[in-house]
Amino acid sequence: MRQKIDEAAAVIRQRLGFDPEVAIVLGSGLGGLADRIEQPVYLPYGEIPGFKASTAPGHAGRFVAGMLAGKRVICMQGRLHFYEGHTMQEIAFPVRVLKALGVRALVLTNAAGGVNLDFSVGDLMLIEDHINFMGANPLTGPNDESVGPRFCDMSTAYDPALRALLAQVAAEQGVTLRTGVYLGYMGPSYETPAEIRAFRTLGVDAVGMSTVPEAIAAAHCGLPTVAMSLITNMAAGVENKKLDGDEVIETANRRAKVLESLVTGFVARV
């Protein structure tokens, strides 16, 4: 595994011509942050050995790297999802490559359904912790000790210092930032109303189909992570209407600027 990671990192490093400090994964409809990057270098995943292309709507499927808020950043404009048929190991791979590139903080963003009844569409939520309901884990199979330990501690998968910094930046920008637990659901069907009621009793605040595998891979390889959800819709059964992927993208587009400013402010300070 180590050799594949190092090969991919070498290709990216050579194409970028610099070592990125901060990595940002942009969720569904949130790819616009990449447009704020100065002196951008574009690198489609298909040109990197070992990488799989993303097929999900609203996901461009490339790295965009350059300067953001005075820092060298690398953005994943589009991510891989388990529901696309990618294996958990394939989803973990880019995170491991980012660690090998020397990135010292990972910012994960996603679109999510609101399970907490106090939430509203358009809210931002800092992920305090997650529940892995995907039925799979990227760390199954042989373990490479040079990447991380066989049994990986998850107590601080969402780094407390980075979370505090993001909350502080939100307060300074006057942006309301909710805090809560994210449940990772395999998809691609949305949850049933009964599942959402069950998740609520389990202490879940938001539900989505990403982030969990990446956060596990990051914890495993020792890459400090912070994650944020944009509540693009209320989860199934909360409102008397059907869920629809277009609403997810519409809300993401409408609230993208707020999320982008928050992430930019965070990058400036991290």
What mask, x for binding ligand HPA by CB under 6 A, covers residues 209 to 248? x----------------------xx-x-------x----x
Closest distance to ligand HPA from the beta carbon of 208 (Å): 4
Cβ-proximal residue to ligand HPA, closest one: 113
Among the residue ranges 41-49, 106-114, 131-139, 167-175, the one whose residues contact ligand HPA (CB under 6 A):
106-114
Q: Write the DSSP symbol of residue 169.
A: H
CB atoms within 10 A of CB 131: 16
- Find the binding residues for ligand HPA in span 107-136 (CB under 6 A): 111-113
Q: Residue 221 or residue 235: which is nearer to ligand HPA going by CB?
A: 235
Burial profile 22-44: b = 16 or more Cβ within 10 angstroms, e = fewer: bbbbbbbbbbebbebbeebeebe
DSSP string across 210-262: SSHHHHHHHHHHT--EEEEEEEEEEPTTTSSS---HHHHHHHHHHHHHHHHHH
Q: Residue 38 or residue 244: which is nearer to ligand HPA going by CB?
A: 244
> Residue 192 is encoded by which pair of tokens?
């049933």
- Find the binding residues for ligand HPA in span 132-191 (CB under 6 A): 185, 190-191
Query: Could you give the CA distance from residue 11 to residue 65 in angstroms, rounded to a whole number?
Result: 14
Q: Residue 115 or residue 216: which is nearer to ligand HPA going by CB?
A: 115
Residues that bind ligand HPA in the complex, under the rule CB under 6 A? 111-113, 185, 190-191, 207-209, 232-233, 235, 243, 248
